Structure 1
């Protein structure tokens, strides 16, 4: 189950007692506070706290006071200017703290984004739950023939069934041995910090993850991309929805100038100019590698 009864009781208690504050609040993100959004088979993401809003970005950019003296229209225009010209520090004035439950192998991808504050559930101190990520059949895919990091078509029939059974059986067997090793029933019991090495990478962990908006946008640009691994992308996609309700002007600018944009090399720009001038551009005369030219053609649809 995504939430334990204790966690749900804590959420209910926190949402039942609104706290008065003088700081800026955003109704859109307030509606999400503490609620857990289920993801994958046992995971979730939930907002624990936030600081700042769209006006805080503008306030920092102008180094003004209060909520500033500019109109809403000017605020949106300024945010789009900042995003368009890669002025990142004003976005660092906003922060978001999330509670995330996710498979360990997803966490190891996630932690590569080193610009956040993280505190993870300790398997040295506590006993991990018997919860494992088991993909849906349509998420079981073969290795991509053109991308060493990607997936190809979904496995079919007996092969898919066999892989699913192995994933379930191996996970359960590993956890059984983990539980037996740490048990103190008739034995000393192995230390938890050692026994955890036997657990598979699809077991679930949890952490608190706090990040500023600039670095959160960098995370989302990579992990909400169609090329990202599915299991981390579902988390990124959900976080995108939360951010859109928190800082709508900033998120719209991020969508337009980062998430939905492309980056072209000098060679690509030169080829585009030549094509607009009516010249035929081919792989042989483009001064790009075969892969880069394929990516260039994909950008142009």
Structure 2
């Protein structure tokens, strides 16, 4: 679609469940997912209506919060594309089961849409920096990089990675990218255009949070590929899009790491999922990249008391929250 549709979409969030649900379909002909909130494979208008209910709240005193959204950019066309956005709840008392009263936060995320011929949303995949909530509210203060800080020295390769030569915009290219990300950052850098941007969490300062050259790429992603912080294995599960741009959905398994985002693992293997959007240049190299990890399931496995109630389901019992 376009930037103005993104504005319409976010205004509908704030207006009413009915207004936002009208943008999906037709009828139950859609698939909605927000893995950060454990919302997977939502496919009915009834569930979607309940799911969007809290976002239209306009009472600053009931603890649900006033949910402010802002579009950062749209990359795509009338068939599919990525909306990049910011989310800043106000007056919320509890979020993800955490006490956020008096602890304002702003996070960023991205949403990939596939539209039908009439402009209705048929597929939605939304991802955002959930670690930012903990940075603001505690009880932990996760680092932006899974491995901690950028790596200024040490190995950036832990295993032999050979690119297949697959064309950009395919699951095979996604596999090449995943293999290099977890095994050889030097090889990974070959997949990027001479001028590129790569972002992997909420951007507070472009100077340190937006990667724009090979040295930054090696420093920020070399820690995952080099093996000193555990073995990172990325596996692509789906590619949404075409040869111009698209979203890679992937699984991640981290073995032998002492910490994940600065949080001790206690020897546990960390498993999670994530998404990465790519826009390609005319030669099929990456010129824009946006990545978000589904951190909440990792945090829960490491003992952080995050709660994600399935409030949109017809049989949900609010009393189950205690």
| Shorter-chain TM band | under 0.3
Which protein has the larger Cα radius of gyration, Structure 1 or Structure 2? 1
- Structure (1 or 2) with the greater helix fraction: 1
- Comparing both chains, which one has the higher relative contact order based on Cα–Cα distances under 8 Å and sequence gaps of 6 or more? 1
| TM-score normalised to structure 2 length | 0.22
| TM-score normalised to structure 1 length | 0.23
